[in-house]
């Protein structure tokens, strides 16, 4: 898939500096994070073992039936003249089933298609893993911004308390405003403490992607507020054919056809040949023996299996179409959410935040001049802080929706977050 190939090319051409361990000092990029995940994630390591096991199953399926050594003893420990071992007839022969209809090759093709299906399933796992890593990477970046906003809020309230203290000392404001400001500061400090805990948690959840149990003060460098141009829905609809689930359905169709071919080959009976030597104890003689065995009614017995395999092959296109329609609906829904996130982000950045900043400046000057109350100033401060937080949320929603579109289309898009 294009997404995974892009990651592969990234690893090939990545400068050597990116191959180092994530450093504790300074923020790290998504490229450095993804290398650690690809090198250490247990899911990817397990996939390697599964691929090797699939290769072994292919070799096993291609094997023809084994040669059997058959030992048969007759007239052993009977009565009368057959008492004892004097009349024993011992036959030692080699038995081989000669399969008709190219059955070993057909079994091998089934195993190959199962391996291809496993590869498609592993592609889904890789894509889900990288998507999950990107979402957690974004989560850390968002929590960093939330922490910065919470810190700014505390600083803003402390600055307001200094203004309140000056007004109280000048006899221009009641002492009650000092208590109101102190309450707001305490609440802001609670929000700051909560933001710190949220960041610690999101850092650890990201670190677990490469098997770590501590984040060691990990911080990320992500252009969270750089939103790439949105592709047209028509182009995304075309890319939808690369969805891993749809690719997997195509592999399932080939697997169903391979099973149908194997079922048809069972219409031709297999020939069992046996040849060896028989030793007759009574006369102390030996003779060669040869036998052949062919099952009867192979064609009639194969018909139910052929019908089943044929019906299962006919089922796959219908399942493919059902899945395609479901993915199309999901893609359309996510695309609309993406457009909304883009609109919200632009409106907040270009219109709301500049107005909120001017509003706060006016209220600060007006409060110092005695034209506005502390409550009005507090509302203006909260309006600006809320707008800044909404920008972060809009950017987060934008990137999350683009990641989901990447996963649905099976192709990388330039989110500004991914490498």
Q: Please check whether residue 137 is in contact with residue 220, taking contact to mean a CB–CB distance below 8 angstroms.
A: yes
- CA–CA gap between residue 250 and residue 365 (Å, rounded): 68
26: Cβ contacts below 8 Å, ≥ 6 apart = 219
Decide: residue 298, CB within 10 A, 0-12 exposed, 13-18 middle, 19+ buried. Answer: middle
Confidence of residue 337 (pLDDT cuts 50, 70, 90): very high
Confidence of residue 76 (pLDDT cuts 50, 70, 90): confident
pLDDT at position 82 is 63
pLDDT at position 79 is 65
Is it the case that residue 39 has pLDDT exceeding 50?
yes
Is it the case that residue 326 has pLDDT exceeding 50?
yes
Segment 314-330 shows an average pLDDT of 92
pLDDT in tens, 213-244: 888 778 888 888 988 888 889 989 888 888 88
Structure tokens at 388: 């800044």
pLDDT at position 185 is 93
**Residue located via tokens 């290398």:** 35
- CA–CA gap between residue 399 and residue 406 (Å, rounded): 10
pLDDT at position 78 is 64
- CA–CA gap between residue 115 and residue 124 (Å, rounded): 14
Domains of the chain and CATH, by start? 2-409 (1.20.1600.10)
pLDDT at position 397 is 94
- CA–CA gap between residue 7 and residue 129 (Å, rounded): 12
Q: Is the whole-model pTM more than 0.85?
A: no
> Among 270, 272, 275, which Cα is nearest to 70's?
275
Segment 301-317 shows an average pLDDT of 90
pLDDT in tens, 373-390: 888 999 999 999 999 999
pLDDT at position 155 is 94
- CA–CA gap between residue 121 and residue 100 (Å, rounded): 33
Confidence of residue 44 (pLDDT cuts 50, 70, 90): confident
pLDDT at position 1 is 42
> Among 27, 179, 135, which Cα is nearest to 400's?
135
> Among 95, 84, 90, 94, which Cα is nearest to 72's?
90
H-run or E-run covering 72: strand 68-74
Tell me the average pLDDT of the chain: 85
């Amino acid at each position: 898939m294009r997404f995974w190939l892009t990651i592969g090319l990234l690893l090939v051409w990545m400068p050597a500096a990116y191959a180092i361990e994530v450093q504790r000092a300074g923020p790290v990029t998504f490229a450095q994070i993804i290398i650690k995940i690809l090198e250490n994630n247990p899911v990817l390591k397990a996939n390697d073992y599964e691929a090797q096991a699939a290769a072994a199953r292919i070799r096993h399926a291609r094997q023809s039936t084994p040669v059997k050594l058959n030992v048969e003893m007759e007239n052993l420990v009977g009565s009368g003249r057959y008492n004892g071992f004097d009349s024993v007839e011992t036959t030692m022969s080699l038995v081989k089933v000669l399969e008709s209809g190219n059955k070993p090759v057909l079994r091998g093709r089934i195993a190959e298609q199962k391996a291809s299906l496993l590869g498609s399933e592993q592609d889904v796992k890789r894509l889900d893993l990288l998507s999950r890593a990107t979402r957690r990477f974004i989560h850390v970046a968002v929590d960093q911004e939330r922490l910065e906003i919470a810190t700014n809020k505390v600083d803003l309230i402390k600055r307001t308390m200094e203004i309140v203290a000056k007004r109280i000392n000048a006899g221009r404001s009641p002492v009650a405003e000092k208590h109101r400001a102190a309450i707001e500061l305490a609440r802001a400090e609670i929000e700051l403490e909560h933001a710190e805990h949220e960041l610690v948690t999101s850092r650890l959840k990201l670190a677990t992607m490469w098997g770590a149990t501590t984040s060691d003060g990990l911080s990320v460098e992500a252009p969270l507020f750089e939103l790439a141009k949105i592709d047209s829905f028509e182009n995304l609809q075309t890319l939808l054919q690369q969805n891993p689930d749809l690719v997997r359905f195509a592999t399932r169709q080939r697997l169903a056809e391979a099973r149908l071919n194997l079922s048809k080959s069972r219409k031709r009976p297999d020939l069992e040949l046996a040849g060896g030597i028989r030793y007759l104890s009574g006369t102390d003689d030996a003779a060669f023996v040869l036998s052949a065995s062919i099952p009867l009614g192979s064609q009639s017995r194969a018909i139910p299996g052929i019908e089943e395999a044929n019906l299962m092959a006919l089922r796959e296109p219908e399942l493919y179409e059902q899945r395609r329609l479901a993915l199309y609906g999901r893609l359309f829904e996510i695309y609309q959410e993406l457009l909304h996130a883009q609109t919200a982000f632009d409106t907040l950045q270009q219109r709301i935040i500049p107005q909120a900043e001017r509003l706060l400046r006016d209220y600060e000057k007006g409060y110092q001049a005695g034209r506005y109350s502390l409550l009005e100033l507090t509302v203006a401060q909260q309006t600006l802080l809320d707008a800044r937080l909404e920008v972060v949320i809009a950017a987060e929603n934008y990137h999350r929706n683009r990641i989901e579109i990447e996963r649905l289309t099976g192709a990388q898009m330039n989110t500004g977050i991914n490498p």
